[in-house]
Amino acid sequence: MSVITAYLTRPLLLAALLGIASCGGSGGGGTEPEPLIGLDTRPANDSCLAGDRPATATSVAVQEAFPDMPPAAALTKILQAPDEQHRWFYLEQDGRIRTVSTLNPSQVQTWVDMRERTVVNENGGLLSMAFHPGFPAVPQVFVYYTTGVPGALSTRLSRLTVDDVELPATVAEEVLLTVDVPAEIHYGGDLAFGPDGNLYLGLGDTGVIATSQTNTMFLGSMLRIDVTTEPSGYSIPDGNPFAGNAKCGPNSNATECPEIFAWGFRNPWRSSFDADGNLWVGDVGFSRREEINIVTGGNNYGWPCFEGADAAKVWTYVCPLSTVPTPPVYEYDRSAGDSAVTGGYSYQGSAIPALAGKYIFGDFVSGRIWSLEPSGSDYVREELADTDALIVSFAAGNDGEIYFADRFLGRIFKLVGDTGSASENTIAGQLSATGCVAADDPDVAVSGVISYSINAPFWSDGAVKERYLAIPDGTTININGEDDWVFPEGSVLMKSFRRNNRLIETRLLMRHTDGSWAGYTYEWDEAQSDATRVVGGKTTLVEGEPWIFPSEGQCMVCHTAAAGFSLGLETAQLNREHVYAGSAEPLLADQLLTLDHIGMFAAPLPDRAVLPALPDPGGNAPIGERARAWLHSNCAQCHQPDGPTPSSMDLRYSTPLSATKACNAVPQSGDLGIDAALLIAPGAAERSVLLERISRRDSAAMPPLGSAVADNAGISLLTEWINGLQTCTE
C-alpha cells in the first residue's frame, strides 16, 4: 500500500499527525486559517509522456478535410453532388442544408433552410438527403426529416425542386411520404439512389419493436420507390414484394405496403451501394449486437426476433415470424466498447490501395473505423483508426476517397494514407517500463507524476483508487467553459485500483502526439511486483468476484468527447483538500491552489469563492446534492448534450433537475416491464427506470459496461432521494 493510500484510509491518524482537529473547529477565535500549499515547485517530467499512437496493420491516418471550415452545428450527413468537385454539402440537424467550397473552406453558405418545418429532438431533425440521379440538369434533391409538433411527430420524405443549383432563391417542396411515429427515437432515415434508378429509404422502428414485423406500416423497413419516371409523386417498382397492393398511408393500412423492399430492421442509420450494386446497411442494435447487412428485396432481417444472428430477448415480445430471417453478413458485440454502428461505403479511391473494394464503416460511440472484406463464406474486419469522433455519417467523395462527419466537433475528416508518423510499439508491455512508475518498484509513481483526488468518485466495483496526472514540461492545462480540464498532447493520466490493500489494475489514459486520446490497462501479478498490459480486455475473478479489464475501445466509451475525455479532471471535482506526500511527512493542502501555485494552468484560477465544487455522495451534504453528484460522476459522461447516447437526458450536476429531461420523463429505450414507468418518478423509486438500470448488471444495465457489481450505497442514496422528491423543481 502506498503512503498516500495508507493515510487516506486512516483519517484519525492523519489528523493526529497533521495537528488537525477531528471534530469541532479550531478553537482559536473562529478565524479560518489560510489554505496550505502542498507543493513548492512543479516537478520535472521527462519520462511519463504519451508518444505516438500505435499504428494499425493497414497504414491509414485521419486528417481534417477542410481545416478552415467553421464548425457545423449538429452534423447529420455529408455528401457531394454528382460530378461536382468544388464543394461539399452537409446537413445540420435543425434543418439547414449548407455547402462548403473546397477552394475556400472558410466560406460556407446556407443552400436551403428548412428550419421552420423541421422539428428537432434527440434523434429527430433533418436526417438525410439524396441528389436526383440527373442533378444538376434535373434540379431536385430528396430530403427526409421529422416534422409536426412534440407529442404528435411524423417523418417526411420530400422532393425539393430548386431554381438555382448553385444557391437557390426559391425552393418548391412536394411531400411524397408521411410516416406517423408512435415514439421519438430510431427514425433511421438514410436515402440513397440505387443503380436501378430507384430511391431507397431505411426507416427505424421508432422504439416500438412490433412495427418491424408489421408490413402494413412503413416502420422498421427498407422502402424502394420510383421518383424519376413520374413528374410528381412516385410509382412502385416491379419486384417489390407487395407491389400489387394499394399505396400505404402514414399509419397502419389494410394490406402490406407495396413500398416495402425488405423489413426487420431496428434503426438502419446509414446505407450505400457498392460498385456491384449491393445495398449495404448498418443497423444499430439494441443491447448486444451491431449489424452490417447486405439487403435483398423480399428478405426479413429479423428484428426484434433476432439481434444479429442470435435470437433476441426483448422483454415479453412474441415473434410472429412468417419467413426465416436473413442474418447479417457481419456483426459485432459490444464487449470492446462499440455500441452504435454507422454504415459506410465501399472504397473506390486510389490514395490507399490496400483498401480497394473493401467496405469501410465505423461506430458512433467508440469512434473506431474498420474495413470489411470477404474471406470465403465469411467477412474479415480490420481496424483502421481509433478516433475520438462521434462518427455520425460517412461519405464517398467523387474522388472515391472516404470522408466522415464528427457530430461533436462539427468537422469533416478524410481517410488518407499514413505517412508513417505512428510507430508499432509505443505502448509498453509492462507497467514498470512506461516511465510513469519506478522501474524497480512499480507501486511508486515517479517524481514528475502528481497525485490528485476527487470529490465524487466513479463507482469501480468497490475498489479504492489512487489517481495521478503528468503533463510534458513547458506545457499547461486549459480550463474550458464547462470547467473541464483540457490537457496538452503528451499528457498521461494514471489510476490504480486496490481491493483489500492488493493492487488489481493500473490504467493509463494518454493524449497522443496526434491529439487523440486512448486508454490502456495493466493487470498486477500475484507477487505485486509488476503489471502486464491487457490487450483487448478480459474478465477474471478477483477474490471470487468478477473483475473487468476494459478493452482499448471500452475505455473511450466512457471517456467521451462531450465530457472532455479526462472525466474526473474538472474544477468541481478537484476543488478540495488533498494529501501530498512530501520528503518529511504528508501534508493536507488545498489541491487547486497547489496546482495553480506550481504553474499547471494556462491562466491563473479565479478567486476560490467562485469555483464550483461537487459534494461527496457519501458525505453530509443535502441528499439531493449528493444524489446529483453521484449521477454526474457515474452517468453524465454520456448523458449530456452531444453525448454518445440516444437518450436526451442531461445528468450533469450543474443542470437543474427540471431541465435534465429525466424527471417525469417517459423512457425512450423501453420501460423494462415497469408499470407507469418514468425515467425518474418523483416519490416512486419503484417506477423509475433510471434507478432500475443502475441496479442491474445485465444487457439493460447502466453503466452498460465495465462493472460487474452494483453500487448498493449509490442505489440506496438514489432510492431515498427519488422517494423524497415531491416535484421536479427540487
pLDDT digits (tens, 9 = 90+) for 481-500: 888 999 999 999 999 999 99
**Judgement on whether residues 263 and 363 belong to the same structural domain of the protein:** yes
What is the DSSP code string of 349-399? -SS-GGGTT-EEEEETTT-EEEEEEEETTEEEEEEEEE-S--EEEEEE-TT
- Give how many domains the chain has, as a whole number: 3
Distances (CA, A) of 590 to 21, 374, 453: 17, 59, 11
Please report the pLDDT score of residue 384 as a whole number: 92
Indicate whether 561 belongs to any domain.
yes
Bigger pLDDT: 60 vs 65: 65
**Judgement on whether residues 77 and 221 belong to the same structural domain of the protein:** yes
Indicate whether 296 belongs to any domain.
yes
Q: Which amino acid is at 30?
A: G
Indicate whether 618 belongs to any domain.
no
What is the DSSP code string of 281-307? EEE--SSSEEEEEEE-TT-B--TTTEE
Please report the pLDDT score of residue 12 as a whole number: 30
Domain endpoint, select from 388, 414, 440: 414
**Judgement on whether residues 477 and 348 belong to the same structural domain of the protein:** no
Collapsing DSSP states into helix, strand and coil, what is residue 185? coil
**Judgement on whether residues 252 and 340 belong to the same structural domain of the protein:** yes
**DSSP structure class, residue 133:** T
Please report the pLDDT score of residue 476 as a whole number: 98
Distance CA 496, CA 207 (A): 40
Within a 10 A sphere around the Cβ of 44, how many other Cβ atoms? 9
Q: Is the per-residue pLDDT at 331 higher than 70?
A: yes
Distances (CA, A) of 320 to 206, 310, 324: 19, 16, 11
Indicate whether 6 belongs to any domain.
no
Domain endpoint, select from 579, 610, 641: 610
**Judgement on whether residues 541 and 646 belong to the same structural domain of the protein:** no
Mean pLDDT value of segment 674-700: 92
Domain endpoint, select from 375, 395, 414: 414
**Judgement on whether residues 44 and 68 belong to the same structural domain of the protein:** no
Q: Is the per-residue pLDDT at 314 higher than 60?
A: no
Distance CA 179, CA 176 (A): 10
Please report the pLDDT score of residue 17 as a whole number: 29
Indicate whether 11 belongs to any domain.
no
**Judgement on whether residues 318 and 430 belong to the same structural domain of the protein:** no
Most confident of 9-13, 317-321, 521-525: 521-525
Mean pLDDT value of segment 402-417: 94
pLDDT band at 3 (very low <50, low <70, confident <90, very high): very low
Distance CA 159, CA 699 (A): 41
Helix (H) or strand (E) holding 157: strand 152-162
Indicate whether 109 belongs to any domain.
yes
Cis before 703 (ω within 30): yes
What share of the chain in percent tops pLDDT 90?
Answer: 68
Please report the pLDDT score of residue 454 as a whole number: 97
The mean of the pLDDT values for the chain is 89
**Judgement on whether residues 429 and 342 belong to the same structural domain of the protein:** no
**Judgement on whether residues 652 and 595 belong to the same structural domain of the protein:** no
What CATH number does residue 399 fall under?
2.120.10.30
**Judgement on whether residues 363 and 488 belong to the same structural domain of the protein:** no
Q: Is the per-residue pLDDT at 29 higher than 80?
A: no
Please report the pLDDT score of residue 585 as a whole number: 78
What share of the chain in percent tops pLDDT 70?
Answer: 92
pLDDT in tens, 535-593: 878 889 998 889 999 888 778 878 888 888 898 999 999 999 999 986 567 899 999 99
In this predicted structure, which of 338-342, 415-419, 420-424 has the lowest mean pLDDT? 420-424
Distance CA 74, CA 126 (A): 10
Distance of CA 581 to the CA centre of its chain: 37
Please report the pLDDT score of residue 321 as a whole number: 60
pLDDT in tens, 81-102: 998 989 999 999 999 999 999 9
Please report the pLDDT score of residue 530 as a whole number: 97
Q: Which residue has the cell 476517397?
A: 401
Bigger pLDDT: 711 vs 671: 711
Cis before 304 (ω within 30): yes
Please report the pLDDT score of residue 692 as a whole number: 95
pTM of the model: 0.69
Please report the pLDDT score of residue 24 as a whole number: 31
Within a 10 A sphere around the Cβ of 654, how many other Cβ atoms? 15
pLDDT in tens, 180-202: 988 778 888 899 999 999 999 99
Pairing of strands 359-363, 441-445: unpaired
Please report the pLDDT score of residue 28 as a whole number: 40
Please report the pLDDT score of residue 524 as a whole number: 97
Collapsing DSSP states into helix, strand and coil, what is residue 214? coil
Indicate whether 31 belongs to any domain.
no
Distance CA 664, CA 283 (A): 30
**Judgement on whether residues 410 and 544 belong to the same structural domain of the protein:** no
What is the DSSP code string of 652-685? -TTS-GGGSS-BTPPPSS--TT-TT-BSB-TT-G
Domain of residue 640: give its range: 623-724
**Judgement on whether residues 159 and 277 belong to the same structural domain of the protein:** yes
Mean pLDDT value of segment 418-427: 60
Q: Is the per-residue pLDDT at 166 higher than 90?
A: yes
Indicate whether 17 belongs to any domain.
no
Please report the pLDDT score of residue 317 as a whole number: 63
Per-residue buried b or exposed e for 306-328, using 16+ beta carbons within 10 Å of the residue's own CB: bbbeeebebeeeebeeeeebbeb
Distance CA 299, CA 307 (A): 15
Mean pLDDT value of segment 511-524: 92
Distance CA 326, CA 299 (A): 6
Please report the pLDDT score of residue 56 as a whole number: 66
